[in-house]
Amino acid sequence: MYTTVRESQNAIDASARLTDQQQAGFDGHDRAGTVGALVPLLVDQVMAEAGVVEPAVAAKAIEQARGDVSRAVSLLRSWVSCLPREGTSVVACSDIEVERRITPAFAEPDGGQFLGASLDYAPRLLNLDVTPAGGRASGDTGPVAEPDPEPLVLPRATTRLEEQDLIAATESTEPVDLTRRASAAGAGRGAFQHFLSRAETGALTALAYTAVREGPKQADPTLVELRAGRLPVSVTHPRTGNPVRVGSVAVTTCELVLYHVQVDSSGEHTDSRFTLGYGATAGRVERRAISAAMLDARVTRAHANPPGTAKPPSDDADWLVTALDGQEATGFVEHLKLAHHVSFASDLDRVRALGEHIRNDEE
Amino acid sequence: MTTPALEVRELTVRYGGTLGCADISFDVQPGEVLGIVGESGSGKSTVLGCCGLDLQPTAGVVRLSGRDTAAVVGAQRRRLRNQDIGIVRQAAHEELRLGISAGGNIAERLLATGHRGFQAIRARVDRVYHEVELPAGRMDAAVATFSGGMRQRVQIARALVSEPAVLLLDEPTTGLDVSVQARILDLIRRLQRQTGVAMVIVSHDLAVIRMLADRLLVMRQGRVVEAGVTDRVLSDPRHPYTQLLVSSQLEV
Amino acid sequence: MSALSDLLHRAEPIHISGYLWAYLDAASKREIRRALLKAVCIPGHITPFASREMPVARGWGSGGLQVTLATIVASDTVKVIDQGDDESLNARTMRALIADSTGVETATDARAATLIQTRHRIPEDDLDDRTVLVFQVPISDPLREFEQRPTAARRMHAERDYAVIWLGLYEDHARFSRSRFSHSYPCEVEGGYIISTTPIPRFDVPRLHQAPFLSLFGAGREAAVYAIPPYTDVTPITFTDREFEIESFDTPCAKCGAEDSYLTEEIVNGRRAAVCSDTARCRRRQAEKGPR
């Protein structure tokens, strides 16, 4: 049905009815719960991009947005934007209660590797069975090891490199809440980290990928550690002043290094150490953490370059923060659907005036 | 004695742990041409960068017409660069906007210093455009469509349009054909004499220095190893490095 | 009380129909008002603020909406237009959200409104010093076209380093003898900062100069506000020997016959025709003329 925007209230109502009708085919009683159970990684991605960890609400947002990730993120973000910030809980990456830990740089890291639950090791064969078992990571229904009752807390694998002074010093960071700041541009590494943790997944991956393609061969990153698990959240008790654990959130963090020999303008080698990159994301979409760590490393290393060195976008924090937020990008692209006939009339006026000038020139 | 157009005193620049240049001092009087020669990495571009206010000295002083440039910051510093200093670089794209017309590139320095009358700007740009012998009728064409030699001419016009006190040239003809190079050096010499601008020219090419410079600094590893009147240094080099440089280049 | 001093004394939130009063929580309102006061004190300065995610998409007026909801009081009468039209989709959505969360009066007559949220136009009726105009801004920075890195652009504003804008104008005049800027024409505010009059047509720009009303610009996606206080100089960027040209129309409005209004092209009775974009004023004029 086409309609002019003038008769808009009818059009909006009709559009809403049509949308409802299309959804009426599904009569499950707990649609959001079903979403959460069927597509947990989608829920994770939406929570990560929204910067909000609340799986049931995220599943509801996905269902309401009919699977449009960007819209679901928008719903979640605007839901929390006016909620008060009741407290902060500062936790270290090494506090993670590990459920999965892999260390590609080291075969036998201190504490060992744990594959945990992951789709990485299942063949990518589309299973066309209609039974609920379709899409399982393994056909095996045998028992898995009982989960350890004690949370598994491990040192960072990077510690081994740090102890040997093989990691170049990085800017130390204070956590920054970007939702209570105007802009991530020029606000330092803490703000940049929060920005990356909420960046749009596809854009994040694409930029990290271009970073590898553009750089010199020696810029290839090596993943030191990817860990997924639960990060305990504590708040200060209002009476006793003691920290009280109130829950935990699922997170994935990544540390990787770039091999890089610093060379100055006269060709002298001035440093031979690795540049460390760190990335963290809510949930289990692991490429988010890896991509963020790659970009963090690139930006960190670019700081050490002599002034005036050309920066590709992947090395330029200022550029990245203008491009990688999914809400800003989709918001702008989609606003082009709004009426623009006033500004367009202004464009028409100029196009005609300049065209006239060009024609007069030719005569 | 007149105030030097450019005074450099005990200039030192360090990049992190690396030395850019150390303890450099010299004066350039109005109308005088100073050459700085040395191999790549010798620190000559670092010295020029400080004179052009692109780089901040770690220690030492750069004075422009008697004024200490360290005290000039922000908008005033930018104004100084757009008004009193002209720069011509080896890589034209570092100084010019390739997508903008030749005239626009020249006009930019006037626009940056508050000129607001279109006809007056246009007339001034037109005059200097023709002084550097660029082809008539191409003034409104994008610099991207210009040859290497023409781009250097646009840079020279851009540098001179504000009638600066000091003109800085960093390898202005390196990479150009020999015949083009000769014509541009002729142009630089003619315009320098015509305007009386103080000039510092950095080059690794002694022929360029011999043609233009009244006096000469020879730099190596961030330090001046020899200084003097150009003819004296080139005909009677005293430092072993200068002797090596002269014998290897001027025999050709 | 003038609109400006009103900014300092705004209502406490109460609950209406499941929202906080005016949707935003008190802390958010305070912060946005603080940014707006700063913006008013430094006319034309792009003032950052922690833009909240709103129940409209980034780029769909989330900035204008935050400004409106942070400044609105119960006694306000609100008019919302998009393209000059009260009935366009975006205007309707915005008006519903503002009215439902506050219960304020709405109006289509600009002269009756105290708070006008607009996208792309300034109402053509005379406005007085009781009116606050809130602009929805897609791209706040006039330097964006020339410098994309925000920290570099901030430095350029701080130093009033606007040579690139003038250079664009020089290129246009050299090649076309006129400026290419259509809407969002860059203007100098009180001899200082250059703003983007975003994205109103040049036709509306002269009305910002020494205007009795307060203009607030909100860019939600870009997390910035800026302002033109009442009775402030707003000068379009032009060479001293070149005219500032507004859009010209060679026919009167096909509906009301006005010769002094901004027209857009539409199809009227099967024919291409130019009609007023300010629909409320156009309709009033048609009624005044009486049935044909």
Question: pLDDT tens digits, residue range A169-188?
Answer: 877 778 888 888 877 777 88
pLDDT confidence of residue A73: 96
Q: Is C58 on the interface with A (CB under 8 A)?
A: yes
- Cβ-based contacts of C170 with chain B (< 8 Å): 103-104, 107-108, 111, 118, 121
Rounded to a whole number, what is the distance in Å from the CA of B197 to chain C's nearest CA? 25
Minimal Cβ distance to A266: which of B16, B41, B55: B41
Contacts A8 to C, Cβ<8 Å? 87-89, 92
Of C44, C61, C64, C218, which residue is the catalytic one?
A: C44
**Confidence band (pLDDT; 50, 70, 90) for A280?**
very high
Cβ within 8 Å, pair A266-B17:
no
Tell me, yes or no, if C256 is annotated catalytic.
Answer: yes
**Pairwise CB contact (< 8 Å): C20 & A82:** yes
- Predicted pLDDT at A201: 97
Across the interface, whether the CB atoms of C241 and B112 are under 8 A apart is answered no
Angle at A321 between CA A315 and CA A323, to 5 degrees: 95
Strand order in the sheet with A221-236: A97-102, A221-236, A243-263, A269-282
User: In the predicted model, what is the mean pLDDT of residues A223-238?
Assistant: 92
Q: Note down pLDDT in tens along chain C; length 292 residues.
A: 344 444 444 444 444 445 688 989 888 999 999 999 999 999 999 999 999 989 888 878 999 999 999 999 999 999 999 999 999 888 998 999 999 889 999 999 999 999 999 999 999 999 999 999 999 998 999 998 888 888 889 999 999 999 999 999 999 999 999 998 999 999 999 999 999 998 899 999 999 999 999 999 999 988 999 999 999 999 999 999 999 999 988 899 999 999 999 999 888 788 888 999 999 999 999 999 876 5
- For residue A187, the distance in angstroms to the closest alpha carbon of chain C comes to 10
Interchain CB distance below 8 Å, A340 and C151: no
Nearest CA in chain A to C52: A81
- Of residues A2 and A257, more confidence is placed in A257
Tell me which of C41, C61, C256, C270 is the catalytic residue: C256
Write down the pLDDT at residue C150. 81
The pLDDT of residue A139 is above 70: no
User: Average pLDDT of chain A?
Assistant: 83
Contact B75 C170 (CB under 8 A): no
Phi, psi of A135 (to 5 degrees): 85, 5
Two tokens at B182?
């000769």
* pLDDT computed for residue A179 by the predictor: 85
Contact A332 C201 (CB under 8 A): no
Please report the pLDDT score of residue C11 as a whole number: 44
* C-beta atoms of A270 and B16 within 8 A: yes
- pLDDT in the model for residue C9: 45
Task: Give residue-wise pLDDT tens across range B80-107.
Answer: 999 999 999 999 999 999 999 999 999 9
Q: Which residues of C touch A318 (CB under 8 A)?
A: 149-152
What tens digit of pLDDT does each residue of B205-233 get? 899 999 999 999 999 999 999 999 999 99
Catalytic residue among C168, C187, C220, C276: C276
In chain C, what residues touch B53 (CB-CB under 8 Å)?
A: none
Q: Does B157 touch chain C (CB under 8 A)?
A: no
Kindly determine whether residue C161 and residue B112, on different chains, have CB atoms separated by under 8 Å. Answer: yes
The helix/strand count (H/E) of chain A reads as: 12, 4
Q: Of A149-153, A281-285, B231-235, where does mean pLDDT reach its minimum?
A: A149-153
Task: Flag if B101 and C173 touch (Cβ within 8 Å).
Answer: no
Strand partners, C47: C225
Q: Which residues of B touch C186 (CB under 8 A)?
A: none
- Tell me which chain B residues have a C-beta less than 8 angstroms from the C-beta of C175: 101, 140
Q: Where are the extended beta strands (E) located within chain C?
A: 15-16, 19-20, 47-48, 77-82, 105-106, 115-119, 132-136, 186-189, 194-196, 214-219, 224-228, 234-236, 263-268, 271-276
The residues pairing with C118 across neighbouring beta strands, listed in sequence order, are C81, C135
Q: Which two tokens stand for residue A268?
A: 């002298």
- The predicted pLDDT at position A170 comes to 78
B18–A267 C-beta distance less than 8 A = no
For residue C282, indicate whether it is catalytic. Answer: yes
What are the C-alpha distances in Å from C95 to residues A363, C92, C115? 52, 5, 11
Contact B113, B120 (CB under 8 A): no
Cα nearest neighbour of A307 on chain B? B15
Find which of C182, C197, C245, C266 to mutate to test the A interface (most A CBs within 10 Å of its CB): C182
Mean pLDDT, chain B, whole residue set: 93
Q: Is residue B99 less than 8 Å (CB to CB) from chain C?
A: no
* Contacting partners of chain A (3+ CB pairs under 8 A): B, C
Taking contacts as CB-CB distances below 8 angstroms, the residues of chain A near B20 are 265
Q: Which of A83-97, A334-348, C256-270 has the lowest mean pLDDT?
A: A83-97
In this predicted model, what pLDDT tens digit does every residue of A57-87 receive, in sequence order? 999 999 999 999 999 999 999 888 878 777 7
Q: Of the residues C84, C253, C270, C290, which is catalytic?
A: C253
Query: Which DSSP string corresponds to chain B?
Result: -PPPSEEEEEEEEEETTEEEEEEEEEEE-TT-EEEEE--TTSSHHHHHHHHTTSS--SEEEEEETTEEGGG--HHHHHHHHHHTEEEE-SSGGGTS-TTSBHHHHHHHHHHTTT---HHHHHHHHHHHHHHTTPPTT-TTSBGGGS-HHHHHHHHHHHHHTT--SEEEEESTTTTS-HHHHHHHHHHHHHHHHHHT-EEEEEES-HHHHHHH-SEEEEEETTEEEEEEEHHHHHHS--SHHHHHHHHHHHT-
For A216, the token pair is 């010199």
Q: How far is C186 from chain B (nearest CA, A)?
A: 15
Token pair recorded at residue B248: 């290897």
Q: Looking at residues B199-204, what average pLDDT do you find?
A: 94
Is residue A15 predicted with pLDDT exceeding 90? no
Measure in Å the smallest separation between the Cα of A265 and chain B Cα atoms: 6
Chains contacting C (3+ CB pairs below 8 angstroms): A, B
| Contact between C25 and A83 using a beta-carbon 8 Å cutoff | yes
CB B219 within 8 A of CB B43: yes
Average pLDDT of span A155-163: 91
Residues A25-36 as b/e (b if ≥16 CB within 10 A, e otherwise) read eeeeeebbeebb
Nearest Cβ partner for A265 among B17, B41, B55: B41
Residue C289, chain A, CB below 8 Å: the answer is: no
CB-nearest partner of B108 from C160, C167, C240: C167
Listed in sequence order, the DSSP H helices in A180-316 are: 189-198, 201-214, 286-304
| Residue A182 forms contact with C (CB below 8 Å) | yes
Query: What pLDDT score was predicted for residue A268?
Result: 53
Q: Do A78 and C52 touch (CB under 8 A)?
A: yes
Q: Which two tokens stand for residue A187?
A: 């606000």
Beta strand ranges found along A120-263 (DSSP E)? 221-236, 243-263
3-state secondary structure (DSSP) of residue C53: coil
CB contact under 8 A, C170 and B111: yes
Task: Please tell me the predicted confidence (pLDDT) of residue A13.
Answer: 74
| Contact at CB, A265 and B15, closer than 8 angstroms | yes
Question: Cβ contact (<8 Å) for C175 and B101?
Answer: yes
Contact check, Cβ <8 Å, B107/C167 = yes
DSSP for residue A338: S
Please list every residue in chain B whose beta carbon sits closer than 8 Å to the beta carbon of residue A267: 41
Length of chain B: 252
pLDDT of residue A255: 96
Beta carbon pairs, A and C, within 8 Å: 159
CB pairs under 8 A between B and C: 51
C41 catalytic residue (yes or no): no
Whether C187 is a known active-site residue: answer: no
Rounded to an integer, the average pLDDT of A140-155 is 70
C126 at the A interface (CB within 8 A)? no
Let me know: does A255 contact A158? Beta carbons within 8 Å.
yes
Nearest to B116 among C161, C167, C239 (CB): C239
Kindly give the residue spans of alpha helices, DSSP state H, lying in A136-230.
159-163, 189-198, 201-214
Question: Which residues in chain B touch residue A270, judged by CB atoms under 8 angstroms apart?
Answer: 16-18
Higher-pLDDT residue of C45, A14? C45
E strand or H helix at A278: strand A269-282
Q: What is the ipTM of this complex?
A: 0.91
